Amino acid sequence: MLRIYDTRARQVEEIAAERALRMYTCGPTVYRYAHVGNLRTYVLSDLIRRVLERRRVRVVVCQNITDVGHLIDDSSDEGEDKVLAQARAEGRSPLEMARFYEDAFRNDTAALNLRPPEHTPRASETIDLMIDLIATLVEKGHAYTVPDGSVFFDARSFPTYGEISGNRLDELKPAHRIEAVDPRKRFHADWALWKPGKGELTWETPWGRGFPGWHVECSAMSLRFLGSRFDIHTGGMDLRFPHHEDERAQSDSAAGHEVVRHWVHGEHLLFDGRKMAKSTGNVVLLSDVVAAGLDPLAVRMAFLEHRYRQQLNLTWDTLRAADRTVRRWRTRVAEWAESVSAPLSQSHVERVEAAFDDDLDTPAALRILRELERDESVPPGAKFETFLHLDQVLALDLSIEIGKTPVLPAGASELLEARARAREAGDFAQADRLRGSLAELGVRVSDTPEGQTWV
């Protein structure tokens, strides 16, 4: 069975799942395009799912959509909502803009062959769940209200706070000068579950009109869609503190027991040695990769070349090398398909699957496949069957070159023509919407310097 590093336990642990497993993945805040660093975390969740499904485990995934409550300063309870600020900058309504970037995110994840989650609740549509959870926490003495309509979680009511990140309450210092500590809080490390506000993206509650804190939404959604005990919670390393610490405190306090069995985190991604951030001008989108003439799955391949717990320094050279490997393997698989069929190379399959099970050691898995590619003692038909068998986890579309050019489904040709016209007219928003419509028909579109291509 799969063994994976549990951040809270600080050791590799076996995932005990015989027939079914439930997993929560912190989803995107939909106020901008996701960059490839953001997407690495979602590839991690997809790998966990695919490895377990190869073991005949049914995996149920919940991935939220944050379209309200995430402030510009992640570490503060004050400031402006990211969605509201960006919507004003773009001259659009908040929810219109949020749906646009949500669609763009789904297109990116489809291009990376990520299996869609079973549940994708939006924060703006599950406010009732958050209100009920906050009321429960107040009733149980884990949260308190203040006169202005705010509700805060009482951090000191949860003694094991800090087990994920190591940031214990007795060691935490105020984020700002001591005189700037919020006087409404009983303790400087308390955080807002509900905040007063008026205007767009606010709701009426027993405490007054306002909007939810960022951390409470994941607790409310995971408890509702996965239950009071579930198996795996994934996210990027940057979410360990305070987001996941706060989420764990909220969920466990409401449920009365440990809700998440395993916490799994992916490491940061750098590009050309620098943190990927808008402020540094170092953001690379999946569309940038495609515009450079590379297959979007070259990004997935580049991620597979490194362990999810290792910091990855991605470069254009890395992506071009990954693209060459993906294209070469597709060509080889197409060549092997012409040979007499032969059984799987069981020894290679067992070694690759053992690497997958060993804390997702994807670099080792790829090394074994390269060995198989060069091994002349293995019949071509066996190589064909083995590569396609393991591609169910790799998800690199290695069979794409086999046979003749695929036939477009009904209606797709018209959508492709309309999209080409939209791009020529500079209407990239419409082009993105048409890309999404094509994806629903099973047609994946890529933009290259020579124009759009599809598979």
Rounded alpha-carbon distances, angstroms, from residue 101 to 16, 136, 421: 36, 33, 22
**What pLDDT sits at residue 232?**
98
Establish whether 275 is an annotated binding residue. Answer: no
* Half-sphere exposure of residue 153: CA atoms within 13 angstroms, side-chain side: 30
**What pLDDT sits at residue 69?**
75
Establish whether 26 is an annotated binding residue. Answer: yes
Establish whether 218 is an annotated binding residue. Answer: yes
Establish whether 244 is an annotated binding residue. Answer: no
* ω into 196 cis (within 30 of 0): no
Q: State pLDDT tens for residues 341-358.
A: 899 999 999 999 999 999
**What is the value of pTM for the model shown?**
0.85
Which residues of the chain does CATH 3.40.50.620 include?
3-266
Rounded alpha-carbon distances, angstroms, from residue 302 to 105, 220, 327, 394: 19, 35, 13, 11
**What pLDDT sits at residue 184?**
92
Topology of 3-266 in CATH?
Rossmann fold (3.40.50)
**What pLDDT sits at residue 439?**
82
366 backbone dihedrals φ, ψ, rounded to 5°: -70, -35
CA-to-CA distance for 402 and 332, rounded, in angstroms?
10
CA-to-CA distance for 166 and 8, rounded, in angstroms?
9
Establish whether 140 is an annotated binding residue. Answer: no
CA-to-CA distance for 303 and 311, rounded, in angstroms?
10
In the predicted model, residues of the chain with pLDDT beneath 70 are 72-78, 175-180, 403-407, 448-450
**What pLDDT sits at residue 85?**
86
